[in-house]
Structure 1
Amino acid sequence: MASFGDLNRVNTNIQSLDSQLSLNRINRDLSDNQLKLSTGLRINKAEDDAAGYAIATKLNSRVAGLEQAMSNVGDAKSVLDIAESSFDTVMDNLIEMKSLSTQAANDTLGAEERGYIGDQISKLAEDINDIADQTVFQDTQLLNGADGGYSGSVDLTFQVGERASDTLEASIDAVNVSELFDGAGTGSISVSTAGAGALSFADGATQASAADYRGFLEGIDGAIESMNGRVNEIGMTQSSLSIREVTLSQSISANSSASSRIMDADFAKEQSESVRLQILQQTATSALAQANNGPQSVLGFLG
């Protein structure tokens, strides 16, 4: 800042230097202001607000994780929807098998008619195994048990949050003749346990009797109850995923809002600041011009 008597010296124009310093500061602030208006961000680099930049970066990282978790939840629901769709088809087959077995349990039918019914039920059982084989999501067989071994369950871990602990477990039991009808054989009706299993309704040339079918009805009821349990498990997991979906959506909104308050520029405030700085720029430029002309007064001493 110029001191008393500085205008009487020519070699160093202190008033001009002060005006230059002020103008440079105003130009710097105006440049920062224009950058904020052009990017829409209050913080464009760490030096603008080091603490705010660090906090916002962490929030943005969390939002990115939450958004991917939301996508993961959608994929998880797709997996369970595929399994549920197959369960519905299997259940339809079991209901048809129940109807046919009830028909064959009636003594009004002869051995030949029961043979035809047995063939139909065997084919429905093969269809159940085929459905399990064809229920696949991205090369993962969902209904053939652990490692495709036709027993046990496929255990899935869904990442439904941005933290390592934010997971949801799902278990899908194997669905095939061997698993559903284990121990259901009676009389001339037998259940093969090799691989996915198969149903047979004849012992050599002897067709299953009405009594055999009556005993087999309990096995079908057990298979239907087993499928109901599987559907219930999937339903509960789907419900949990839907709840997570809502929670994730709320978290994404809250964290995005927090990041916005830190990072985003207030355009009304920045525009007002721009007007103020432009006025100061003009006055500082005028002051610099006057300061540069100041030494001219020294010529009066030499007159």
Structure 2
Amino acid sequence: MSLDFSVNNNASAASILSNLQYVNNQINTSYQQLSTGNRVNSAADDPAGYAIAQQMTAQVNALNQAVQNAQNGISMLQTASGAMNQITNILQTMNTLAVEAANGTENSADLNNLNQEFVDLQNQIDNIASQTKFNTMTLLDGSFATTSVVFQINTDSTGNSQLAVTIPQVNISALFGGTIQITSQSLAQAAIASVQAAITSLSAYQAQVGAVEDQLNYTVSNLQNTENNLQNAESTITNTDMAQAYTQFSQQQVLQQVGLAMLSQADQQPDAILKLLQ
């Protein structure tokens, strides 16, 4: 067995120092994993896992935005539906006035009074149609009657991720072709048919809008379920197993202390050369 006595090179100390640096790096990694709760904080921690996690994160972020898009779509349709509900209430009042005016017991003064309210209600319908807006977009003036509003409700660019919706024009021009009057019994009888047809049409519009709202609500639920599953899958890749990480951290601390002690001993080896010179 040979002994290596060298002043210029201490192989034992160099080897111990290299191991100690490795342990220190592992300790720093453990600090980061324990403090952040993430096992993968950079690509160096797990290259394959990091790449998969980034893809999943992109999907989760896109799903979150798709959920927000669908919820905004629901809010938009609820705004339109609420306004149409108010117009339906007005049409119901107009129907009552027209039925009253169609009775032969009403004189001309009665008919004029009834007609004044009847016309005012039509003006209110036009006012609602022109003032019902969502994010500055007017909804019931026909802007979306022929050109659909398209909701992006999933994460890709295919048609399956888009939902096109039309919102009908709901004003006097669309409902009646213009202002109608009940100044005579015959005009009132004609107005009954017009108003009741408008109620039927508007009810059908509201049913269509309600069906799309239901579709969007189901879409939101499905997107949120998909997002939760993806987040769970991502967490299995990126999250720190705290018990395992702390156990490794404790082992690394012991190795660090032992390494420091051994480095101190290795640094004393050159002292043996001095003893030879004594």
Cα distance between partner residues in 2 of 1:103 and 1:200: 13
Structure 1 position 273, deviation (Å): 0.7
TM norm structure 1: 0.85
Aligned with residue 103 of structure 1, among 95, 100, 103: 100
1:171-213 CA-to-partner distances (Å, cap 9, x unmatched) read 101001111124xxxxxxxxx3xxxxx2234xxxxx42x2332
Which structure carries more relative contact order (alpha carbon 8 Å, separation 6+)? 2
Range with greater deviation from structure 2 (12-21 or 289-298): 289-298
The equivalent position to 1:272 in structure 2, one of 247, 265, 268, is 247
Given that 1:144 and 1:153 are in contact with CA atoms closer than 8 Å, whether structure 2 keeps it comes out as: no
In the other structure, the counterpart of 1:176 is 171
CA distance in 2, matches of 1:87, 1:276: 70
SS in structure 1 opposite 2:256?
Answer: helix
Alpha-carbon separation, structure 2, partners of 1:53 and 1:80? 40
Number of the residue aligned with 2:53: 56
After superposition, the C-alpha distances for 1:133-173 in whole angstroms (9 at most, x for unaligned) are 110112100000038xxxx4452111222222322221101
Q: Which amino acid aligns with 2:152?
A: Q
Instruction: Work out the CA distance in 1 between the residues paired with 2:264 and 2:132.
Output: 82
- The gaps in structure 2 that reach 5 residues or longer are none
Q: Percent identity?
A: 27
- Choose from 224, 227, 235 the match for 2:210: 235
Give the CA deviation at 1:67: 1.4
- Between the aligned partners of 1:75 and 1:123, the Cα distance in structure 2 is 33
* More strand per residue: 1
Residues of 2 paired with 1:7 and 1:45: CA distance?
A: 42
d(CA) in 2 for partners of 1:266, 1:6: 46
Q: Which amino acid aligns with 1:162?
A: T
Q: Structure 1 segments of 4 or more deviating over 3 A?
A: 6-11, 295-303
CA contact (8 A) 1:153 1:174 kept: no
Counterpart residue number, 2:262: 287
- Which residue number in structure 1 is paired with residue 225 of structure 2? 250
Structure 2 distance, partners of 1:66, 1:37, is: 29
When the two chains are superposed, the root-mean-square deviation of aligned CA atoms in Å is 1.9
